[in-house]
Amino acid sequence: MKEISRRKMLGLTAATAAAIPLAALTGSAVAGGHAKLDPNDAQAKALSYTHESPDAAKNCANCQLYTGGDAEWGPCAIFPGKEVAAKGWCSAWVAKS
């Protein structure tokens, strides 16, 4: 078995420690960040969430709780860790001011 010097081991440890946060950031950016909200989710059902709003004037994109900007899918304060459709709607909808 090949011996590894202490200096080499410390260098590898430092490089690995620096790479882990970078990989986590890169991975979440590529993956889109969060999972899309399933309309069958218990909280989604309780708030009558749907991917397609029944009223074109009221949708997630123009709700104060949606923080996805112009994205087709984005985060919502009501559903942490999930992304909702910009064209979606739920009963917690509040007009942007």
CATH number at 96 reads 4.10.490.10
For residues 87 and 57, state if they share a domain. yes
pLDDT tens digits along 30-39: 335 689 999 9
Whole-number pLDDT of residue 12: 60
Q: Do 27 and 40 belong together in one domain?
A: no
* Residues 26 and 38 occupy one common structural domain: no
Residues 56, 68, single domain; the answer is: yes
d(Cα 44, Cα 46) in Å, to the nearest integer? 5
3-state SS string for the chain:
CCCCCHHHHHHHHHHHHHHHHHHHHHHHHHHCCCEECCCCCHHHHHCCCECCCCCCCCCHHHECCECCCCCCEEEECCCCCEEEECCCECCCCCECC
**Residue 40 shares a structural domain with residue 84:** yes
pLDDT in tens, 2-31: 676 777 666 666 656 655 564 444 443 333
- pLDDT category at 1 given cuts 50, 70, 90 is low
Query: What pLDDT does residue 30 have?
Result: 33
75 & 90 share domain: yes
Domain tally for the chain?
2
State whether 39 and 65 are in the same domain. Answer: yes
Domain encompassing residue 48: 34-97
Kindly state whether residues 20 and 47 are assigned to the same domain.
Answer: no
Q: What is the pLDDT of residue 8?
A: 65
